[in-house]
Structures are given as C-alpha cells and as structure tokens.
Structure 1
Amino acid sequence: MIQNQANWQIPKYEIQEFFKKERQYCLCIPVINEGEKIQKQLKRIPSSLRGQLDIIILDGGSTDGSLDESFLREMNVRSLLTKKDKGKLSAQLRIGFSYALSEGYEGIITVDGNNKDSVESLSFFVEKLEEGYDFVQGSRYVPGGMEINTPFVRKLAIKIIHAPFISLLSGFHYTDTTNGFRAHSIRFLQDERLQPFRDVFETYELLAYLSVQAPRLGYRVIEIPVKRSYPLGKVPTKISPLRGNLLLIKILLGLAFKKYDPDQSYK
C-alpha cells in the first residue's frame, strides 16, 4: 500500500529544472562542496548511460561554485535540488526521493558525488531494476568488485562491525553496507511500512535503515560488484574517522532498538 504523502517530512529545498523528465529511472547524486570531484564524475558518465537515466543533483548547500548552471546543462543534468534546511545526507536523500516519486520515476539510483565510484557500473543497476530487484547494493567486496586505497580503519569497521551487524538485523548477507552506490524501486520506497520521509533521518541513518528494511519487508535484494577508489595519501573527508565510526555505531544501536521504525500514528 502506498504511504500517505500528506505526512511526509521533507526538508525545505529549492528546485532548478533544466530539462523535462525523459527517462524511466533517475540518478540522484548528493553533494556538498565537492569542487572538481563532482565535475570530473559527471564528465565520466558514459554518453550511453545518459540515455538511460535522468541526472538529479542533491546539493546540501555548496558554496564552491562547482554546480554552475551552464556546466550542469552541458552535462545534461536534469534538475538541481538545493537543501535550505537542517540535516545532512539523509535529509538530501529524502529530498531526492520525494522529488523522484512526485515526478513519476520507477526507480532511483544513488551514488556519492565525490568521484570515488565506478559510474561506468550504472548500467548494471538499471539491469537489476529491470529484472525486478527492489534494492540493489553496490559492493567492492563481492566477486568482480574492486577497492583501491580503502583506509584501513574504514575497511575494518565495514568488515567486522557494520556489514555483519546490518546482515544480522536484516537477514540478508551484505558485504559493503556503508556504500552509497545503490538502486531502489519506487514500490519499495512507497511501502507504508517503510516511511522513509521522517525527520529522524538526518545524517547516515537512512542508508542503514533501508538496507535492513528491504529484506525484512520481503523485497528482492541483491549485491552487485562495483569499484571504489580513494586517493593516495590523506583521505579528504568532511567527518573525522573517530566521529564517523562513533556515529555509525550509534545508528546501528538505534536500528537494533527499533528507534527508526515508523510510529503507527505517523501512517
């Protein structure tokens, strides 16, 4: 059953639409001050894939000039959604998902805008949506996947804490649960038992929540191989490794104690 849109909690945001909707699926890219990285990433998307996906940028409030309108038009970006409210990644995703649902897309692919991911793999996500999968998780740790220069602490946290914990809670064996390279069917996002459009999702909660709920609710889930590459030397990041890992653990505990499960009164 489709959830009640009147109850959606969506951060305030500004819409700039450069082109009309043309595709069945869209690619949502969350960014904030990614500079040349998002520009290089958009240039790397093969022209053949631009014919399969409408590109939507989810901007958290960039001030570095990287999202110039003329450049975005040149890259065939369909829409730029700029958050004007509190919240971080999960708030940006709520904006993107709600916009995509209102525009009538049948599936949403997400990928970080920091030029670390193999955007050449986008066609495989489209294929899995076409095959009827509802939640497609990209993984560098399944056969065919690849990791380059993954920070040791981050890799350790994924392999011995995050992925095992999410797998235990969800009942599906995941290997790369912090990876934001994913695809989601609209039927999954609209399920009234999910309720992703709530203010409780502000930082990274929504990523973990969706991973757990997709198998729990009986949707078709699969991991597919992708490549994720970090630059040599000190890894540029907007959050310290200690704070980041503590936040992930806090979110995992919240999942275990059903903090993010929908309140019946919200439906």
Structure 2
Amino acid sequence: MDSRTPQGHGPSGAPDPSGVPDPSRPVGADGAGTLVIIPTYNERENLPLIIGRLHASLSAAHVLVVDDGSPDGTGALADELASADADNRIHVMHRAEKSGLGGAYIAGFGWGLERDYAVLVEMDADGSHAPEQLHRLLDGINAGSDLVIGSRYVAGGSLVNWPKRRKLLSQGANTYSRLALGVRVRDITAGYRAYRRAVLEKIDIASVDSHGYCFQIDLAWRTIQAGFTVSEVPITFTERQIGESKMSGDVIGEAFFKVFEWGMKHRLEKAGIRRS
C-alpha cells in the first residue's frame, strides 16, 4: 500500500487551503472533493442530461468534460454549461482531435491531480453509468478502498437493454482477463470507477498507451500490482439511448493480446522469484 495520503478538500469541493493532507477526511456525501471526468466525442444531446443528473445526486461534485474536437458542437455546449454554472463546478478541456478514451482520461487525471482533488471518477457521457449510483463508489472509497469499480457482474449488478452478443463479449473478456492475470475482479473492463488520488500518483499514468477495454484493464492491473486495495460495488449498466457505441474490433484485439502479454510476464516473474 502506498503510504502517501490523499490531498484534503474543503467543504466546497475546492482544495483545502491548508495544503495539509488529511487521511481521515472522507469524501463528502454531496460529492465534495470529487472530480468526475467525462470524455466526449459527439455527445451534444447526452452531455447536459448526464451533468444535470450528476448534480441532482451529488451537488458539490466537480465535472471535467474532456472533449476530443467533437464536430457536433459538444465542446461549445460544454463551455456554455460551464459558464452558466454559478458554483463553478463544471470545467472543460478541449483536445484538438479524437485520440481515444484512454488518452482523454489520462489528460483528465493529470488536470485533476494538479488541482488536488481527493478522488477522481471515470464516467461515460452516454448515460450508461447512472450518476445516481455514484455514491456507492464513493462509499467504497470512504470505507478504505483505493479503487472502487462499479461492477455489472457482482451480486446486485445488472445490465439493461444490452444485446446478447455484447453481453457475451463483455463476460468473455472479463473471464479471460481474470484467468490470464490471476485476479479476482469480476468486472475489470468496467469504465465506471473511482480512484483515490494516491493510486494515480503512484502507477505512472503517463506511460499508459492502452485504449477502450484495454485501458480499464491496464489501470486496474497496475493498481493491483502496486499493492492498492480494489473493491467492486454493484451498478446498473444501461445501454445508451442516444448516439452510437464507439467500441471497435481493434479495441477488443488490443485487449486480448496485451492481457496475454501481462499475464505471461507476471507468471515468469513469479517463477524467477521462486527459482532464486
């Protein structure tokens, strides 16, 4: 376990002006101290809905919209939402081109770490991750976990409106990853998750070049390897109703080969330790 403690936040969700980390201070029940990172590409219709739901559930949570040059005007809309928010809870990062989910999250993590948020959350813009259930992830952080994954495949988790093929693909990817890496996480590909800042400071996010499914597996694997505590809480995952999924065959192939490589490397390293 990393000995560094998360940077504290004051009641408003802004960094604690004292600058002194307080490991006993929980994330606020209203989301204070939390930054929710929402990558976007052509999510103009979904974005105001998801941010509205988030702030109805956790009024003090801050949002960082990371827009990859959406041609539908999502970035401009995000700027309007930020300007209209009197509490300054909405922030926007504009990136020149679409360069993948992983790159958007890494950029967002860097932005949040520079501003001393205690917890950084991944959330999709399309409504598949219910903001109303974010408190479950934050409760897990407050209970002592370093990474909390919103899981579809633990007791109480569920999938809504997913085609059978997608469900089988997702379950297969998780089973394969669990066996290849020798981990107990049942939904290691899940994209709804909350990180304590100490995790992201430790695992060298700058070296991550994975995308999609593989990005989520990569960060969870690094977190486990670094000795942090990972837990799962049940969520309801709902297939998007507006827009199109951005999952591709290339993303799935990347995950298959990288997970195999990581698993083999881990086993060889363990074998080398035993021989010595």
TM-score range, shorter chain: 0.7 to 0.9
* d(CA) in 2 for partners of 1:48, 1:246: 37
Q: Residue 215 of structure 1 is aligned with which of 224, 231, 237? A: 224
CA deviation string 1:131-167 (max 9, x = no partner):
221111111221222211222222112222x212332
What secondary structure does 2:58 align onto?
helix
Letter of the 1:181 partner, please give it.
Y
1:176 aligns with 2:184: no
Q: 1:205 to 1:196 in 2, by over 3 A?
A: farther
Length-normalised TM-score, structure 2: 0.75
Q: Find the counterpart in structure 2 of residue 167 from structure 1.
A: 178
Give the secondary-structure state (helix, strand or coil) at the position aligned to 1:45. helix
Q: Of residues 62, 71, 74 in structure 1, which corresponds to 2:70?
A: 62
CA deviation map 1:174-200 (0-9, x unaligned): 222222100111111111xx2111263
Partner of 2:93: 81
TM-score by length of 1: 0.78
Given candidates 59, 72, 76, the residue that maps to 2:82 is 72
Which ranges in structure 1 are unaligned for 5 or more consecutive residues? 4-18, 260-267
Give the distance between the partners of 2:145 and 2:98, measured in 1 at CA. 32
Structure 1 residues 39, 255: CA separation in 2 closer, same or farther (over 3 Å shift)?
A: farther
Which structure is higher in RCO with an 8 Å CA cutoff and minimum separation 6? 1
SS for the counterpart of 1:50 is: coil
1:104-123 mapped onto 2 (5 Å cutoff): 104-123=116-135
| Structure 1 vs Structure 2 CA RMSD | 2.9
Counterpart selection for 1:153 from 140, 165, 171: 165
Please list the CA deviations of residues 75-105 of structure 1 after superposition, one character each: whole Å capped at 9, or x if unmatched: 6642101223673111101101111111011
Cα separation, 2, equivalents of 1:219 and 1:169: 20
* Residue number in structure 2 paired with 1:29: 38
Cα 1:139–1:203 shift into 2, 3 Å = closer
Query: What is the count of residue pairs matched by the alignment?
Result: 238
Tell me what 1:41 maps to.
Answer: 50
- 2:261 counterpart of 1:249: no
The farther-off stretch of 210-219 and 76-85 is 76-85
* Structure 1 stretch displaced more, 165-174 or 27-36: 165-174
* Aligned equivalents of 1:231, 1:62: Cα separation in 2: 18
CA deviation string 1:181-222 (max 9, x = no partner) = 00111111111xx21112634555431111212222221111
**Superposed counterparts of 1:183-262, under 5 Å:** 183-191=194-202, 194-198=203-207, 200-202=209-211, 204-230=213-239, 236-240=244-248, 242-256=249-263
